[in-house]
Amino acid sequence: MSVATRGVLAILKAALNDVPEIAAINNQAFRFQTDTVGGEIDTLTWLGNVPGFQEKGNKVLQAGKPLPKKLDIRLREFTASWQLAAKYVRNSKVGPILTVKAAEWGRRRVDLADQLVCDLLNNGASLLAYDGIAFWSDSHSDGRSGTIDNNITFDCSDHTNPTALEIAKAIAKGIETFWGFKDDQGLPTHARMVEVDVVVPVGIAGLTLQAVSNEKLDSGAGDVTNPLSGFRNTIGLKLNVRTSPLITLATTKIALVNRSPGAMPFLLGENPAEKRVTELDESSDLFKREDLYEYNAFWTGAASVGEFRDSVLITLN
């Protein structure tokens, strides 16, 4: 490695470990590390729900047995390359641009993670959850949970042109749906839900922002109190609107993603040993032929749907 480009390599390596900003879609995923290499399958296993407390009394208490969940996730390999003209390094011209390009390098990694999670959102109606049923489905069950329907509908006067009030009512119905879910021990899953992301395609993002943020909404016959106001102001439920051009859901779809502590709607794994940056320096054929340095970033990981109780899809009808 050349002394001249050692600093470049160090900055690019640091960029690969940047923490994504709060609004990044990939923050909805539970992160895990794996030593599985690209192209191979990692079987991720975690235990089900811990049983609740029972009064002792005189009866013999039965211990709850959390049901194991298993998912097979195939690791994928990704790479990004950036070339830097040697003349800029020789003449000390990289200073003004290096930090900008390093930040962009980091953003590309965040973009990749966002794309992986957005792919799950875009295809959640067909991707299989750990119970072998589509992630968003009306027929999930798990232990003593009973039927779990996380694929619901909401009727609008015109579903292709909904109002902010109708969107607010649809979101309220989705929140109430969360509260009806039970875990594999038969206990409410979301008794202490504190934060939910409302994920929508760009086409209805502005309308959804009104639906979530405004205290009053137009009913067509005057303004009425937003049905979400009580959730926010009285219960203290935090609602975040999230959108991205990477979201390709139809504009009649609204995905709610539970962001409360312990929620795992999506899973995002990486192999830390395969998160690398390499350099083609002065000794390389590329440099000798083209007078270019080349930096190559490598990332191995995968994303998968996780706990289906932690997300609800609402279809406007």
**Within a domain: 9:** yes
Six-digit token string for 245? 């051009």
DSSP the chain: --HHHHHHHHHHHHHTTPPPPTT-GGGGEEEEE--PPTTSEEEEEE--PPPPP---TTSPPPPP-PPPEEEEEE-EEEEEEEEEEHHHHHTT--HHHHHHHHHHHHHHHHHHHHHHHHHHHHTTTTSB-TTSSBSS-S-B--TT---B--EEEE--SSTTS--HHHHHHHHHHHHHHHHT-B-TTSSBS-TT--EEEEE--GGGHHHHHHHHH-SEEE-SSSEEE-TTHHIIIII--EEEEE--TT----TTEEEEEE-STT--SEEEEE-GGG-EEEEE-TTSHHHHHH-EEEEEEEEEEEEEE--GGGEEEEEE-
CA 123 to chain centre: 13
Count up the domains in the chain and report the number.
2
Asked if pLDDT for residue 1 goes beyond 50, the answer is no
2 neighbors 281 (Cβ within 8 angstroms): yes
Q: How many CB atoms lie within 10 A of CB 92?
A: 8
The angle at the Cα of 35, spanning 46 to 116, to the nearest 5 degrees, equals 75
Residues 228 and 86 in one domain: no
**Within a domain: 61:** no
Asked if pLDDT for residue 245 goes beyond 90, the answer is yes
Residues 209 and 235 in one domain: yes
- pLDDT confidence of residue 6: 67
Residues 163 and 311 in one domain: yes
- pLDDT confidence of residue 141: 92
Asked if pLDDT for residue 5 goes beyond 70, the answer is no
Residues 31 and 165 in one domain: no
Whose CA is closest to 212, among 220, 114, 204, 317? 204
Residues 23 and 109 in one domain: yes
**Within a domain: 144:** no
**Within a domain: 146:** no
Query: Amino acid identity, residue 96?
Result: P
The angle at the Cα of 103, spanning 76 to 87, to the nearest 5 degrees, equals 100
Residue 131: Cβ-neighbour burial (10 angstroms; 0-12, 13-18, 19+): middle
Asked if pLDDT for residue 238 goes beyond 90, the answer is yes
- pLDDT confidence of residue 3: 46
Helices 3-15, 95-122: axis angle to 10 degrees equals 30
What's the mean pLDDT in 89-100?
A: 73
Residues 220 and 243 in one domain: yes
Residues 213 and 272 in one domain: no
CATH number for the domain that contains residue 271? 3.30.2400
Range of weakest confidence among 46-50, 94-98, 227-231: 94-98
Residues 273 and 256 in one domain: no
Give per-residue pLDDT as tens, 100-154. 777 787 788 889 999 999 999 999 999 999 999 999 999 999 888 999 999 999 9
Residues 254 and 164 in one domain: yes
Residues 15 and 118 in one domain: yes
Residues 175 and 255 in one domain: yes
Q: State which residues form the domain around 271.
A: 3-50+67-123+267-305
Residues 12 and 113 in one domain: yes
In whole angstroms, give the CA distance from residue 139 to residue 151: 9
What is the largest distance, in Å, between two alpha-carbon atoms of the chain? 85
Give per-residue pLDDT as tens, 12-64. 777 777 766 767 899 999 999 999 999 999 988 877 777 777 777 767 666 77
**Within a domain: 16:** yes
**Within a domain: 137:** no
**Within a domain: 272:** yes
Give per-residue pLDDT as tens, 254-290. 999 999 998 999 999 999 999 888 888 889 999 999 9
**Within a domain: 237:** yes
Residue 292: Cβ-neighbour burial (10 angstroms; 0-12, 13-18, 19+): middle
- pLDDT confidence of residue 301: 94
Six-digit token string for 2? 């050349």
- pLDDT confidence of residue 2: 52
Q: In angstroms, what is the C-alpha Rg of the chain?
A: 24
Could you tell me whether strands 41-46 and 69-74 are parallel, antiparallel, or unpaired per DSSP bridges?
antiparallel
CATH number for the domain that contains residue 214? 3.30.2320
Single pTM value for the model: 0.88
Give per-residue pLDDT as tens, 139-176. 999 888 999 999 999 999 999 999 999 999 999 999 99
